[in-house]
Chains A and B, each alone.
Chain A
């Protein structure tokens, strides 16, 4: 079953009367249980594509279907049980504590008792690898990595089948970024989530994604497992994956026993 279907998508922005076309006839299909990385150059419209899937932008032409419904219908009551989103800066509510932030989507349902909501939020807090003692901190007192973890816990609090991530490892040091990838990978495996992420981080792409979609020339030029994408003949792919950094990161794909 396809979780996300993007058909002939056109994204057009108008600034000062000048139309800028970001996507032209973009097609993308994401099946259940995939961990898909969306890559592309700066300004190629990766985040816009993610926002289209979330229904935050309206397609100029074409259609975006998420879990069998048009994306524009996504932002209705109970949306948190269908899609979780991790924004690049976390987007935690600054007036709430960590625990209140995580519990927010559940509390908004207004029918589950407070004690149960708190228990669920505490479990999610620890699931993303945070210590219970952080529960009453304010978002302003958290480090960048902790903000991302709390935001992930909030995105997961209603166990949505689809999780979207915008640059999940940006701004994290390599250690934390690795830990975050391991966490994502284990959640993906254990919860059977479909994960879609926009990222620049080659390590992340090779380490955990099952499929890579490359956005260039205003459309998805290739969407395939990492090994096949590397072999795809396109200037952007060559530059992005086969440059010096790409070469080093690819070693993750074929771990050599003598290097451990």
Chain B
């Protein structure tokens, strides 16, 4: 047994029972599982604990606040009739005695509290809707201002965002699109071969990729990649008080932060959609060649006959809408970030989840509205 182990020994002296403390009663030593278990065994014995027993702390090597707290709790939070200690130990014990209070109760959830929570949830949702509407209105006003005085527009910001949102996203969108095309083509080829309808792979791939999967895939990737970046950028500006600095200098946040991102997204998204769709078609074409022996030449000639060109315009049109939506949602959550880091994380998560959900919802809306176009 090593010397520094915190121990409690009961001795019988002529004056009666005496509890003698040995070793180092510090947090680090007490927390050793072996020491703690041994000490617990002694403390839990049905001894004449605090009552008739004398306590001797003078043999202790060291006593810190954790050890003193353990002792104070063992004494039932009151001074035993007879304690012998050194001066330093007395100060620590007295401090523990003075400050030992139960922590204030945490708030319990009651039915009333739940009702209030529901209410604040509803108001919060309404607040979000109003905020988003205001942001959209401000964007329209800013666009009018830009059309009136194009020379004063934040063109440098727009081109910067265009590069960051569009150009740097090319590799990842191409990779994902290509792989989705390959997977789809393999799956379809298995099914179509059962019916001997091999040639229809061009129709299925062409229509699904150009009309639906291309735009949605690109939008989801960009929502995850650039939507989160927009929220984080603007949120960090809030945390570091850059937004306040802009306001003090009289620079309009909508015109300089929101509009450039929205314009860049509106331009970049349709282009990225075409790019993703092309990569997916390439993947599908190669996979059809390998899996079914359908030559690329046939694929390319059959594609324009199978898919109406209106589908491409529809896809690009809805991509532009997705782009503006992702930018606005990103800015919306970014501007609502509170000046603390936790709120920044929450805002970014909420932004990505909301934009992906909205992309899929709006895509469904487009599918219903334009069901007669290009089919």
A interface residues with partner B (beta carbon < 8 Å): 78, 81, 94-95, 99, 106, 109, 111-112, 115-116, 118-120, 122-127, 132-133, 135-136, 138-140, 157-159, 190, 192
Contact = CB atoms under 8 A, between A and B. Distances in A.
Interface stretch (B22-30, B53-61, B119-127): B22-30
Interface of B: 26-28, 30-33, 36, 64-66, 69-70, 73, 88, 91, 95-96, 98-104, 106-107, 338, 340-343
A108 to B, nearest CB: 9
B37 to A, nearest CB: 9
B32 A111 contact: yes
A113 to B, nearest CB: 9
Contact of B31 (A112, A115, A126): A112
B27 A123 contact: no
23 contacts: A78-B28, A94-B342, A95-B342, A106-B27, A106-B66, A109-B28, A111-B32, A112-B27, A112-B30, A112-B31, A118-B103, A122-B100, A122-B102, A123-B65, A127-B95, A133-B104, A136-B106, A138-B342, A140-B343, A158-B28, A158-B66, A159-B27, A192-B88
A158 B340 contact: no
Cβ-closest 10 pairs across A and B: A159-B64, A81-B28, A109-B31, A140-B340, A126-B99, A123-B99, A158-B27, A94-B342, A135-B103, A111-B31
A47 to B, nearest CB: 20
Contacts, number: 86
A81 B343 CA distance: 32
B342 A140 contact: yes
A26 B70 CA distance: 43
Nearest to A139: B340
B342 A119 contact: no
A127 B31 contact: no
Nearest to B91: A190
B28 A123 contact: no
Given A116-B69, A159-B27, 9 more contacts: A111-B36, A119-B69, A120-B27, A122-B99, A127-B95, A136-B107, A158-B26, A159-B26, A159-B65
A127 B99 contact: yes
Contacts of A157: 27
A127 B100 CA distance: 11
A116 B70 contact: yes
A94 B33 CA distance: 30
Contacts of B341: 94
Contacts of B28: 78, 81, 109, 158
Given A119-B69, A158-B27, A159-B26, A111 B33 contact: yes
Main secondary structure of the interface of A (DSSP, over half): helix
Contacts of A126: 98-99, 101
A203 B100 CA distance: 34
Contact of B96 (A94, A112, A123, A133): A123
Nearest to B70: A116
Contact of B101 (A94, A95, A106, A132): A132
Nearest to B98: A126
A192 B65 CA distance: 13
A81 B103 contact: no
Contacts of B342: 94-95, 138, 140
A132 B99 CA distance: 9
Nearest to B102: A122
Contacts of A94: 340-342
B36 A112 contact: yes
Nearest to B68: A123
B65 A120 contact: yes
A194 to B, nearest CB: 15
A78 B31 CA distance: 10
B30 to A, nearest CB: 7
B73 A119 contact: yes
A197 B185 CA distance: 67
B103 A109 contact: no
A120 B341 CA distance: 28
A119 B30 contact: no
Nearest to A98: B103
A78 B73 CA distance: 24
Nearest to A131: B104
A156 B100 CA distance: 17
A233 to B, nearest CB: 41
